[in-house]
Chain A
Amino acid sequence: MTQAQTPQQPVIEVNNLVTHYGERKILNDVSLTIQQGEIMVIMGGSGSGKSTLLRHMVALENATSGSIRLLGNELSKLSQMEFYKLCRKIGVSFQGGALFSSLTVIENIILPLHEHTDLDRMTMEIMARMKLQVVDLAPFEDLMPAQLSGGMIKRAAIARAIVMDPSLLFFDEPSAGLDPVVSSALDELILELRDAMQMTIVVVTHELDSAFKIADRITVLDKGEILIVGTVDEVRNSNNERIQNLLNRRFEEEELDPDEYLRRLMGQS
């Protein structure tokens, strides 16, 4: 894997982030920095707070305390218009794609250009087709989202996320619900985007294979707390019991015989 360029200034800074849903603490004093051009994978089990952290990073949630700086801008201090301007520099690929069901694939991709630029329709279509080629979806531009497979929806969502050439790209569970071949192709695409477009990429996932394949650094979250921020090798070789439990959980599942799995599921073990 190609390493990211030399770190300069952090493009994302999360400082002492605490957030609650009602009485429940979801994120507990989370701090991390992400450098220009790196792929940071945030991983953890279900309910670890990783998707919540991502939602805070793109200002879809407000924290109880703490702060987040994105490209030098502190999110909580931005006016609405300043935030909308900042949004042009970020792209987000949601877990389910979040394509607009009433628009075709190409109309979905054109939407940010249509809303934020004064380009004519033909230029916007050319730009959208270029992004569709990047995600290998060019022949499907006139289809509706309902006509696409899960993998194609994710790729279309990526094309929409990168159409404004953002410097920051966020992925929420890019491999969720996909078969291993499609999932692996998406991993390759994420690496290509980083290398070809010099993007800083944040990926939230619980897929260990995917995380180890694409990450420059990994943040492991458990019960709203950061267990480690480090390279793939640092995470793999960590002596922390909670991290090892998290890593081994996957291997347990993989080694489980299907009949044994069913027996356990039925409570017959």
Chain B
Amino acid sequence: MRKTVNQKAWFFVLPVVLLVAFNAVIPLMTVVNYSVQETFGDNVFFWAGLRWFEDVVTSERFHDALIRQCIFTALVLIIEIPLGLVIALAMPRKGPWVSVCLVLMALPLLIPWNVVGAMWNILALPDIGLLGRSINALGIEFNYTREPIAAWFTIILMDVWHWTSLVVLLCYAGLVSIPDAYYQAAKVDGARPWAVFRYIQLPKLRHVLTIAILLRFMDSFMIYTEVVVLTGGGPGNATTFLSIDLVKTALGQFDLGPAAAMSLIYFLIILLFSWLFYTLAMRNEAR
């Protein structure tokens, strides 16, 4: 039978191509143009060549922000992915509690990021905040505005509270889509809960876990609003992540050239990690 070739389908893709061009490709091109020039405003630009890239890759400030960012993202992934999976496994699959659990899990995701930052700002205040005051009452000195470890602890806790729900909901959707026949077969074979998890649930969740890791990686690598509202990047620069450093450079100092170069390096790092995660997950799938 001869295969029908119909190129008209391309016209249906055209609106998406145009949308992506306007909201991603053209701004990205502009950032590339800015990254090799210097401007003092009024739309006047001077050629700077690769100077900004050289400045950024040799800048200690950028290295520090990148290291902080990598540590933060690693901690967030190490905590949120297993925790989300465990909560999803513990959630009921049938009955009235399903809706209650799903609504409770979805609530943190519905709260705007700046409100999350403000909430945790108040909650963790050492003198009047419930969390800060409770920790101090235990005899542990806790002041996130003064101590870097306390600031990191608060930020990690805030991110876990805000985003673990996303992992839970993704894993839960993956779990309920596993056909009952698998569980019945496992029951017939007398499989223990761990064996069911290891040989049925985990392999079936591979795709949603890949998506969860990718989403959490990209989101945590670009975290900005919550941290700015909570700590403003402090104390000192202890919680100044890449995005905060970028905004300080671009809007605080109005150094558009270095900020553009930093944005591109930032973009390349995210692209590299996303590709690595995706490729490794797909390689395991191919096996």
Q: Do A and B bind?
A: no
